[in-house]
Amino acid sequence: MRIGTITRASALAVAVLLTASGCGISMGTGGGQGGGGEVSGAADGSITFQTWNLKTEYADFFEELIDEFEKENPGSQVRWVDQPAEGYADKLSADAAAESLPDVVNVAPDLVHPLARAGAVLELEEARPGAAEAYLPDAWESFAMPGMDGVYAYPWYLNTGPVFYNRELFEQAGLDPDDPPSTFDELFDQALRMAEETGGETAMLGQTPGIIDLGMYGSQLMNGEGTEFTFNDAPAVEMVQRYREMYEAGALVPEALTQDYTGTGEQFMSGALAWAPGSAYDLENFRTNAPGLYENVGITEVLTNTGKANMYLQGVAVSAATEEPATATAFAEFVTGAAQQEAFAREVQIFPSTAGSLEDPYFTEDDGTDEGRVRVAAAAQLESAASYNPVLFNDQMKNLLRDEIALAVKGDKSPRQALDDAVDRCNELLGEG
C-alpha cells in the first residue's frame, strides 16, 4: 500500500488488483473457519498473504519477515502476493464472491466493511479472544463495523499529520513563521491577513473541507448507532461558512472548487500555497523534488477542536473460509506484532499500532533532524488519535459532499442547505446498501 501523500485524503486508503486466487480457500464448504468459534492449533499450513504496492520498495523486508515466520513455525508456507494499486475495493468483493479471497489480506477499515457484512473475514474477538490487548485501543476499534458485533481486522501501520507551512510566504505576509496557527480560528484569521497583505496573490488554504476535516472541527459525523450521517450539525455549518469567507477573500485557491482538482500537494510544492496537511513521509519528497521549499518548510501540529488528530490506518484481515485458520491468524498476528511493526517503521515513515511501541525512544526522542522532529510529533499525536473517516462513507458520498460544499463556498447555497442536501443524499445511498 502507498505509504503517504500530501493530501487530506487518507494516506492509507484504497486499492489493489488481485490476479491470482488464494491458496487453499473455499468460501462455501470444506475446512474453513467461517462457522465461527475460537481459532487454535499449530501454524503448520500453507497460506497466501496479499499486500498492495509494497513489493517494489520493501521486498527484502517482507521476504525476511516470511522466512522468519516459517522458521518459527515448521511446516508453514507463506506465498506473498503483492498487487498494483488499481481497483482493489471492487476486486476484493469479487474475490470474496468467487470464493478466492486470500487467506490473509491487507485492508483499510472501509475496505473490510463489505467483506465483514458478507461474512468473508473472521470476527477476531471471537476467533482470537484477548488479541485486542496487543494493540492501541483506538486502532483496534477502528476495525469494528457499524451495526455489527466484533472486530474484523488486526491493526497494522498508522500515520498522521503533521501540517507543513511555507515560512517564506508567512514572512512576506507579515506573519510570524515561528508562531504558526494552533487553532482553527487562528488559521482562518491568518489566512485572511495573508490574502489581504498579498492582494490575493497568495492563498493560505488549498482545499475545501472533507469528512475528516468536519470531524476534527467537532462535527458528530454519524449518530450513535452508526446508522445515519449527521454531519449537518452546527460545527459543520460553521466550518463551511468560514471557508466561504476564505474563498471570498482570496484565502482559498479557486481551483479547490473544481471537480478535477487533485489537492494541495503540487501547489504547496511550487510555492503557490502556504499551508498543507501532510504526513511524515512527505519531507523526503520535499527534499528530493522541491529543495527550495524544503529549506523554508515549517512544521506544526494538526489542528483539531476535539483533542484528537486523525489516524490513517491499515490492517490485516483473515479469510473466514481459509482452510488453515491457525496458520493464517498466527501469521496475521506475527506481521502486526510489535517487533515486526517497529522494524517496518524504521524502513519507512509510518508508525506501529501495537501497545507500548510508541514509547520507544525512536518515537519519543528528537534526534535533531527534521525527520526526527516530525516523527516524534506525529507519534505523540497517535497516542490519542482517532479515525474520523466513517467506514460507510464511500467514494460516491465523498464526491457528493465535495460538490455540495463547493456550492456553499461559491455562494450558490447556504452552508446549512448544502450540508442538509449532502446528508440527505448520503443517507439515501446508505439505505440503498
Rg of the Cα trace of the chain?
22
Q: 198 pLDDT exceeds 80?
A: yes
Q: 134 pLDDT exceeds 70?
A: yes
Each residue's pLDDT tens digit, 380-403: 888 888 899 999 998 899 999 999
Residue 226, domain CATH:
3.40.190.10
Q: Do residues 97 and 237 both lie within one domain?
A: no
Q: Do residues 181 and 264 both lie within one domain?
A: yes
Q: Do residues 138 and 180 both lie within one domain?
A: no
Other C-beta atoms within 10 Å of 212: how many? 20
78: enclosing H helix or E strand: strand 77-83
Per-residue confidence (pLDDT) for residue 175, from 0 to 100: 97
**Hey, what's the cell of 267?**
501547489
Q: Do residues 363 and 397 both lie within one domain?
A: no
Q: Do residues 294 and 252 both lie within one domain?
A: yes
Residue 14 included in any domain: no
Burial state string for 75-110 with b = 16 or more CB within 10 A and e = fewer than 16: ebbbbbbbbeeeebbebbbebbeebbbbbbbbbbbb
Range of the domain at 220: 163-308+388-432
Place 89 in a pLDDT band, splitting at 50, 70 and 90.
confident
Q: Do residues 289 and 196 both lie within one domain?
A: yes
**Averaged pLDDT, 148-157:** 96
Residue 290 included in any domain: yes
The DSSP call for residue 358 is G
Place 14 in a pLDDT band, splitting at 50, 70 and 90.
very low
Residue 172 included in any domain: yes
Per-residue confidence (pLDDT) for residue 13, from 0 to 100: 30
Sign of the alpha-carbon dihedral angle for 228, 427, 108, 50: positive
Sign of the alpha-carbon dihedral angle for 129, 135, 138, 139: negative
Q: Do residues 395 and 418 both lie within one domain?
A: yes
Per-residue confidence (pLDDT) for residue 384, from 0 to 100: 82
Per-residue confidence (pLDDT) for residue 6, from 0 to 100: 39
Residue 131 included in any domain: yes
Per-residue confidence (pLDDT) for residue 21, from 0 to 100: 25
Q: Do residues 228 and 366 both lie within one domain?
A: no
**Averaged pLDDT, 241-263:** 89
Residue 1 included in any domain: no
Burial state string for 225-250 with b = 16 or more CB within 10 A and e = fewer than 16: ebeebebbeebbbebbebbbebbebb
> How far are the Cα atoms of 36, 135, 376 from residue 332, in angstroms, in the given order?
17, 13, 27
Q: Are 161 and 279 contacting, i.e. CB atoms less than 8 angstroms apart? A: yes
Indicate the number of domains in the chain: 2
Residue 222 included in any domain: yes
Residue 150 included in any domain: yes
Residue 242 included in any domain: yes
Q: Are 16 and 85 contacting, i.e. CB atoms less than 8 angstroms apart? A: yes
Q: 320 pLDDT exceeds 70?
A: yes
Q: Do residues 276 and 415 both lie within one domain?
A: yes
Q: How far is C-alpha 397 from the chain's CA centre?
A: 17
Closest CA to 423 of 223, 179, 195: 223
How far apart (Å, rounded) are the C-alpha atoms in residues 80 and 63? 8
**Averaged pLDDT, 393-421:** 96
How far apart (Å, rounded) are the C-alpha atoms in residues 355 and 14? 25
Place 171 in a pLDDT band, splitting at 50, 70 and 90.
very high
pTM of the model: 0.84
Closest CA to 247 of 199, 200, 214: 200
Q: Cell numbers 493560505 label which residue?
A: 204
Per-residue confidence (pLDDT) for residue 169, from 0 to 100: 97
**Averaged pLDDT, 208-214:** 96
Q: Do residues 374 and 393 both lie within one domain?
A: no
Q: DSSP string of 170-191?
A: HHHTT--TTS---SHHHHHHHH
Q: Do residues 253 and 340 both lie within one domain?
A: no
> How far are the Cα atoms of 243, 253, 263, 399 from residue 405, in angstroms, in the given order?
9, 14, 15, 10
Q: Do residues 174 and 212 both lie within one domain?
A: yes
Place 316 in a pLDDT band, splitting at 50, 70 and 90.
very high
Q: Are 101 and 120 contacting, i.e. CB atoms less than 8 angstroms apart? A: yes
- Average pLDDT of the chain is 88
